Structure formats: structure tokens, C-alpha cells
Chains A and B, each alone.
Chain A
Amino acid sequence: MRRPCDRCGKREAVIRIESLNESICDECLSARIWRRVKPVLDKGIQDGDVIVSALSGGKDSSLTLYYLWKYKNEFNKDFEIIAVTIDEGTCYRAESISKAKELTSRLRIKHKIVKMSDIFAFSIPQVQILLSKGKIKRDLCTYCGVFRRQALNIAAREEGATKVATGHNLDDMVQTLFMNLIRGDMSAMARLFSKTPSTRKLIPRIRPLIRVPEKEATVQALLLGIPAHFGKCPLVSGMRVRVRRMLDRFEQENPGFKERAFNFIEKLVKQAIPELTSNFELKYCKQCGEPTTQELCKVCQFKQELEAVMVPTVN
């Protein structure tokens, strides 16, 4: 062996965990990740649940689906899994959808593909054209994220889901926390740690990879041979990219920073603003009736913006 595992010494190391100052093998990595994933599943899934797993075909959502499947089958759990893919219409998505199909076929899981344009009458390439012409000012990811979230909630509701599982990993979560910090949005930060109010319209979420660093999730997906798209969306832009770059610099200089920051902020938010994390107020959009924290949901706000520049006005 050229580089044995620092933990068991029995197998070749496959990943370096800088914060622990050790390189570990596939089995030790699997055990480390499962120790972080299983408690989330134990807490988040009950008998009889119908779990819609948001499946983009990327490595994180594919690994999430695999863990749901493993949890159900290895522990003989009584819940249903349905994979849902939201197709924004980008060329990037076409590639990842074929991977998603391959995975669901291999795991024998029901797979529903929903076109975003069928729900909102907009596709992301159309929004991209408006952006390139300078007709709208927000980042593409802002529109895509908002439309995708609502499309997923609607699709999950149609499937009779009781929970939605997403592939957000530790890196994603820390980025979101810092984005909320930069915006000074305490409510949004508290909502990340809140139990979703149980209503018929908003399906509660679980994030099985919430404590798994992105790099570990990537190596695990590779080692498991999970069919997944390993690239990132080429259209990605905006604050998240800048925050990620900043956080990576901190991580490079202080290994383990992201995990410590996540644990610290989680404790702080839960202790400092328990009334927000225990129950946040949910409203319904006065235009479309979808759940929102405002009078008009973000989708309706964005639709108005887009319609104003897409449809020629007659004076």
C-alpha cells in the first residue's frame, strides 16, 4: 500500500481530512458519513411517510437518494420514496437528467420529471436571454432557485408527499448562513433551523447531507459508483459564488472552519431566537395561494418583473 488509512491501517486512503490531520480509506469514510446521515434520517422520517427526493442528477441529490434507499432497505423501514426532477430547460440539466434516470432505474424508484415551463410558463433559458439583454437585474440563480423551490413543492404535493428530501450539504448550508448574515436577514437564518410548519401546502424538508462536507460527499458518490453529474451548473453566478470563495479561503487557513461555523451559528440561532426557530409564521400568497412569508410570494413578484419586460405594452 502506497498510502494506508490513518484510522484502520488496513486499506488504501482515498481522501484527506485536513481538519483531522488524517487520510482515510473508503470504509472509514463511509462509516464517518453514515454517522452523520443516519441521525438526520432517524429524526426526519416516520413510518408511512412519502418522501419526495429532489433529484437534479448531480452528485449531492443522487447521494441523498441513495441514502434514502439504503435506509429504507437495510433497516426495513416503512416509507415510500419518489424522485422528482425539476427541468429548468438548460442544456446542463439535459445531461444530469440522463444520470438521474439511470440511478432511479437502478434503484427501482419511481421518477417524475417536471418541466419548469409547464408550471410557470417561463424556462430559465428565457430568463437568461432577458438578463443578457439587460432587461432584468437579478442574478440568474435567484430566479432559478425561487422557481425551482416552488415547482418542487407543487410537484411534491401532487405526489402526496409528507416530506421533501434535498441534497444540501454542509458547504451549501454554511454558504446560505453567511449569505443571510451579509444580508442581515435574521428570519431567513432562523428558518434554516426551524421545523417547517405543517400545512397541506408546504411540505416539510429534510436534508440528509446537512453535516457532510461537499468534498466527502463527492468522493463517496464516486466510490459508490453512483451515476451522477459531477460538474456544477455553468450558469451559476451571484453572491453564493463570492461567499463560497471567501469561505474556502477561511477553510484553507483554518481547516474545519466550515463545520465549526455551522455548529456555532446553529447553537447561537437556536438559543438566541427560539421563538423564531420553534415556529415561524406562514402566510399564503394573495395572488397564487402558495405558502410564503410575505403578502406576495417571490414567484409572483418575479413573474410580474419578467412579464413586464417580456410582454410589449400598448399605450
Chain B
Amino acid sequence: MTLRRAGERSLTPDGWIEANGRRIEIYSGMQVSDLMRDMGISPLTHIALVNGRPVPEDYPLKDGDVVEFLMFTVHKEMGGVKR
């Protein structure tokens, strides 16, 4: 799985990704909401795009997915990852 956020891009070695300086574990059956929680991103401020298409937070991720988060509102303190 590849994860992109705000122009950053990290490739996935075995079982984990690095996003914004954080090491996040990727596991089988992981949903977008799990990833958002682990990254500290709120669904109230971000939309998840998987392979370029919007998905709900209960979308199950799988190998090969490209995940992006689009921040559509302000106030970075609210659940957003500090940069």
C-alpha cells in the first residue's frame, strides 16, 4: 500500500508505512478509519481517496492501494497531523 498526504509519499516496506515521521503498522483487515486514527487524522476534516476515488471510512484496504487524504477544512489542531 502506498500512502500520500499533502504531497508527501512513503512506500511500504513489510507491514508498515511511514507517514509524517510516524511509523504506522499495516495489518490485514485494516480499514481507512483505522489508518486515520493511527495517523491522527479526523474524518471531520479529511476525505480519504483510495486509488483516486473517495471512499467511506469503513472501506477495507488491501495490498496495492494508493491512499491519499484531502484536508477540506481549516484548523490543523483538530485531529490533524502536525507538520
Contact = CB atoms under 8 A, between A and B. Distances in A.
Given A3-B60, A248-B44, A15 B72 contact: no
Contacts of B42: 248, 252
A23 interface: yes
Interface stretch (A99-107, A114-122, A130-138, A216-224): A216-224
A211 interface: no
B78 A245 contact: yes
26 contacts: A2-B60, A2-B62, A3-B58, A12-B55, A13-B58, A14-B55, A15-B54, A15-B56, A16-B56, A16-B57, A23-B56, A23-B59, A171-B73, A218-B72, A222-B70, A223-B54, A231-B71, A232-B73, A232-B74, A236-B74, A244-B75, A248-B44, A248-B75, A248-B78, A252-B42, A252-B44
A214 B70 CA distance: 13
A14 B74 contact: no
Given A2-B62, A245-B77, A252-B44, 11 more contacts: A3-B60, A12-B55, A14-B53, A14-B55, A214-B73, A219-B54, A222-B54, A232-B72, A241-B74, A244-B73, A248-B44
Given A223-B54, A230-B72, A241-B75, A215 B44 contact: yes
A59 interface: yes
A13 B56 contact: yes
Interface string A11-45: 01111101000011000000000000000000000
A114 B21 CA distance: 43
A49 interface: no
A219 B47 contact: yes
Interface string B57-83: 111101000000011111101110000
Contacts of B60: 2-3
Contacts, number: 75
Nearest to B72: A218
List of 7 A-B pairs having minimum Cβ-Cβ separation, nearest first: A16-B56, A23-B56, A218-B72, A14-B54, A248-B44, A232-B74, A16-B57
A251 interface: yes
User: Is the contact region of chain B dominated by helix, strand, or loop, or is it mixed?
Assistant: loop
Contacts of A215: 43-44, 47, 72
Nearest to A16: B56
A20 B54 CA distance: 18
B2 interface: no
A59 B71 CA distance: 12
Contacts of A16: 43, 56-58
Nearest to A171: B73
A171 B75 CA distance: 14
Contacts of B70: 218, 222, 230
B72 A59 contact: yes
Contacts of B56: 3, 13-16, 23-24
Nearest to A231: B71
Contacts of B78: 244-245, 248-249
Interface string A175-213: 000000000000000000000000000000000000000
A223 B62 CA distance: 22
B45 interface: yes
Given A2-B59, A218-B72, A251 B54 contact: no
A3 B42 CA distance: 20
A232 B76 CA distance: 11
Nearest to B78: A245
Nearest to A222: B54
Interface in A225-243: 230-233, 236, 241
A215 B58 CA distance: 16
